[in-house]
Amino acid sequence: MSEQYISVGKISGIFGIKGWVKVFSFTDPRENILTYSPWVLKKGDKTKTVNVAGGQLQGKTIVAQLAGLNDRDHAAELMGWDIFITQDQLPKTAKGEYYWSELIGLNVETVQGVQLGVVDSLLETGANDVIIVQGERERVIPFLQGQTIISVDVDAGRMIVDWDPEF
């Protein structure tokens, strides 16, 4: 997979007898996964591209109908496959807004120029999101733009933070 792909979910089961699949979605809201088509499915070293023909929220579950898939047994073969989309399928963000996938891998340094490491992941805590920075040690920094997060330059691969390097 040479293009930049973003993991958006996983096929978690089958639904009904007409080849629909259950989907565990990473999108917010969960049903947004149905707005992206095609999906690139990956399991191990195998990949396949499928078009989403339809889908819906079914209780607390997302179910999807994939084009050309009309059989429960064939749908069962897709269980456990990861669902990816391409970066260009995402809507453009407004200035100052970022997709989490854009922030992962950015070099993080303090306003004084001290290198802290690289954004490894992000967490939603309820109060505010936090970035997990891996360097000589792990740091958890609140993602508060204009406070702890001074600037983000995705193109340059850098984030400047107002953070005590000893903390």
Burial code of 117-149, b = ≥16 C-beta within 10 A, e = fewer? bbbeebeeeeeeebbbbebeeebebebeeeeeb
- What does the pLDDT look like over 100-136, one tens digit per residue? 889 999 999 999 999 999 999 999 888 889 999 999 9
Question: CA of 103: how far to CAs of 25, 36, 121, in Å?
Answer: 20, 21, 8
CATH number of 100-161: 2.30.30.240
Q: What is the pTM of this model?
A: 0.75
The residues spanned by each domain of the chain are: 5-88, 100-161
- What does the pLDDT look like over 51-84, one tens digit per residue? 999 999 998 899 999 999 999 999 999 999 999 9
User: Of 103, 118, 148, 144, whose CA–CA distance to 6 is shortest?
Assistant: 103
The more confidently predicted of residues 9 and 1 is 9
CATH number of 5-88: 2.40.30.60
